[in-house]
A and B are shown apart, each in its own frame.
Chain A
């Protein structure tokens, strides 16, 4: 009745072979590339030259700064909206399913498609400025002003992902024991207070999970700035991901582009670690 010991390996072989060739090998190879520069088409070992170059590269610092500005504003903003919507939906009595589907809908659209829709809506004489003017406000130079272009990007990303995170929160909220709320309300805690003393602490692990996922996503930001703002105006929305693409596939500087890739790897590792530490326990 014993299983032959090679059986599991048979089931694993296709996955292992593909994983080794298309994942492990590229990761190691790009690590090597990050220490090389191309001299007349041939790659040569260049020590830490690429890493030194980072420090003098103003465009890199701009891209890094842009990515962090977007990260620091967008992730908390989106997660707040998600958790508020989830709380509303959790207490709502009617049309629950309908609302849930509506909020989740943006998450099924392709990144390029929604970026195009937002880009057209945000143009100078586009729909959003028309709406602003209709209520007596001034139009906003969404795509042509460095600060507003970042705002446009933040707005679009928040639209795309808020519902996705909301569904995660909603599922977690349904696992919070009702008795905790009953006890809080016996103590005279208002609904708002219950939100901060019961809901938020109970959701802490889930909030951490979504924060890490969103952080990883934002550090790799590419599709949206590529389509929505093309990185402009004057590099104001250039992300590290986009800079890597330009370096690698417009200037074919594979060595330096690999160095940029490892900057992203490093940032993801550090930020995930920090977020774990910040939230404390296990």
Chain B
């Protein structure tokens, strides 16, 4: 019995250390965003909040126009998530609930494309955007990733579980094909819709390489691109940088804490069921 108690104490301490390591950088970034720039390196380190957050934020706005950038990110993410979720859910539905010519080949092609690294796409995409005059526009940030194979896969897997009998009953009652989709299928896969929406949201919110290439002026920067440009300046104002980092992470963390389960299943591709 005694060894048991020692083991569980050992486990608890191990977990506690892990949790502190995981959380501390967030705490520290938030603290640094409320203090003067120089204080990130002061000895002993400053670990308590100061009163400079508003000042750092307004400096940040002077340097990169943070509200505009934040607006860009939010606009792109929201429009992208809504459109992509619609398109991928429709495709997932076709794959899950219909038999048609070419279905298996098509689905296999979608799956295989998940192995292709994004790097193999960016150069042709850049040339296409340049040719269409799409560089530095919102559509360049939104449109290229709308058909996201993994989201299609997720929706298909979840719709497979909806009994065909439900659809047959609907058909007998004279429900239209569109009605079957919106009134019978969609309501029964709500958790999957939430998880997929979060997956797409996170993908777009964190996306860096493509916006770095497609957004070419400050007015079109998304948050990660703006932060990276700020951090690349020769004289870095750490207070400003940390205020930006806090803006980029704070809302997501809040969102995560509120919707934990959907978040985890969305980000792991619903491989976690609880």
Contact A254 B116 (CB under 8 A): no
Interface-forming stretch among A19-27, A57-65, A142-150, A193-201? A19-27
User: Which B107-125 residues have a C-beta within 8 angstroms of A?
Assistant: 109-110, 113, 115-125
Contact B228 A265 (CB under 8 A): no
| Contact residue among B122, B128, B144, B264 (Cβ-Cβ distance under 8 Å from A104) | B264
Contact A167 B123 (CB under 8 A): no
A25 CB to nearest B CB, Å? 7
Contact A245 B90 (CB under 8 A): no
Q: Could you say which residues of chain B place their CB within 8 Å of the CB of A126?
A: 40-41
Contact A15 B90 (CB under 8 A): yes
A107 CA to B257 CA in the complex, in Å? 13
Contact B143 A101 (CB under 8 A): no
Closest 4 CB pairs of A and B: A15-B91, A26-B124, A8-B98, A18-B147
Is residue A114 contacting chain B, with contact meaning CB distance below 8 A?
A: yes
Q: Could you say which residues of chain A place their CB within 8 Å of the CB of B119?
A: 220, 222, 241, 244-245, 260-261, 264
Q: Could you say which residues of chain A place their CB within 8 Å of the CB of B11?
A: 88, 91-92
Is residue A41 contacting chain B, with contact meaning CB distance below 8 A?
A: no
Q: Could you say which residues of chain A place their CB within 8 Å of the CB of B225?
A: 112
Is residue A184 contacting chain B, with contact meaning CB distance below 8 A?
A: no
Is residue A163 contacting chain B, with contact meaning CB distance below 8 A?
A: yes
User: Which B146-190 residues have a C-beta within 8 angstroms of A?
Assistant: 146-147, 149, 152, 168, 171-172, 177, 181
Contact A27 B120 (CB under 8 A): yes
**Known contacts A108-B263, A127-B28, A164-B267, A88 near B256 by CB under 8 Å:** no
Which of B123, B128, B264 counts the most chain A CB atoms within 10 A? Answer: B123
Interface-forming stretch among B12-20, B50-58, B60-68? B12-20
Complex interface bits, A115-132 against B, C-beta within 8 A gives 1, otherwise 0: 011111101011100100
**Known contacts A27-B116, A112-B208, A272-B115, A168 near B272 by CB under 8 Å:** yes
A140 CA to B147 CA in the complex, in Å? 45
| In the complex, residue of chain A having the shortest beta-carbon distance to the beta carbon of B205 | A110
A92 CA to B171 CA in the complex, in Å? 50
Complex interface bits, B227-269 against A, C-beta within 8 A gives 1, otherwise 0: 1100110000010011001001100110011001001100110
Contact B118 A113 (CB under 8 A): no
Q: Could you say which residues of chain A place their CB within 8 Å of the CB of B205?
A: 110
Instruction: Jot down 15 A-B pairs with beta carbons below 8 A, ordered by A.
Output: A14-B87, A18-B143, A29-B127, A88-B14, A99-B18, A108-B253, A112-B227, A116-B245, A127-B40, A130-B44, A168-B272, A220-B118, A248-B126, A258-B124, A264-B120
A-B contact count (CB 8 A): 264
Is residue A207 contacting chain B, with contact meaning CB distance below 8 A?
A: no
Known pairs A110-B224, A219-B117, A226-B208 / 16 extra A-B pairs, C-beta < 8 Å: A22-B143, A26-B128, A95-B15, A108-B256, A110-B205, A110-B206, A113-B248, A114-B249, A120-B238, A126-B41, A167-B272, A241-B119, A248-B122, A249-B213, A257-B123, A261-B119
Q: How many residues of A contact B (CB 8 A)?
A: 92
A248 CA to B144 CA in the complex, in Å? 19
Contact B272 A110 (CB under 8 A): no
Contact B18 A103 (CB under 8 A): yes
User: Which B174-227 residues have a C-beta within 8 angstroms of A?
Assistant: 177, 181, 202, 205-206, 208-209, 213, 223-225, 227
A9 CA to B14 CA in the complex, in Å? 54
B230 CB to nearest A CB, Å? 9
A contacts, CB < 8 Å to B: 1, 3-5, 7-12, 14-16, 18-19, 22-27, 29-30, 33, 84-85, 88-89, 91-95, 98-99, 101-114, 116-121, 123, 125-127, 130, 159, 163-164, 167-168, 171, 174, 191, 216, 219-220, 222-223, 226-227, 230, 241, 244-245, 248-249, 254, 257-258, 260-262, 264-265, 268-269, 272
Interface residue tally of chain B, by bracket? 35 or more
Q: Could you say which residues of chain B place their CB within 8 Å of the CB of A116?
A: 227-228, 231, 241, 245
The prevalent SS among residues of B at the interface is helix
A168 CA to B265 CA in the complex, in Å? 10
Q: Could you say which residues of chain B place their CB within 8 Å of the CB of A254?
A: 123, 127
Q: Could you say which residues of chain B place their CB within 8 Å of the CB of A123?
A: 41
A214 CA to B274 CA in the complex, in Å? 24
Contact B252 A108 (CB under 8 A): yes
| Contact residue among B28, B144, B171, B206 (Cβ-Cβ distance under 8 Å from A22) | B144
A194 CA to B8 CA in the complex, in Å? 17
Contact B252 A265 (CB under 8 A): no
**Known contacts A22-B125, A110-B248, A9 near B100 by CB under 8 Å:** yes
| Contact residue among B15, B249, B273 (Cβ-Cβ distance under 8 Å from A85) | B15
**Known contacts A7-B177, A30-B124, A108 near B202 by CB under 8 Å:** yes
**Known contacts A3-B177, A113-B227, A216-B115, A85 near B18 by CB under 8 Å:** yes
A19 CA to B121 CA in the complex, in Å? 12
Complex interface bits, B1-28 against A, C-beta within 8 A gives 1, otherwise 0: 0000001100110110011011101101
Which of A29, A113, A244 counts the most chain B CB atoms within 10 A? Answer: A113
A111 CA to B209 CA in the complex, in Å? 11
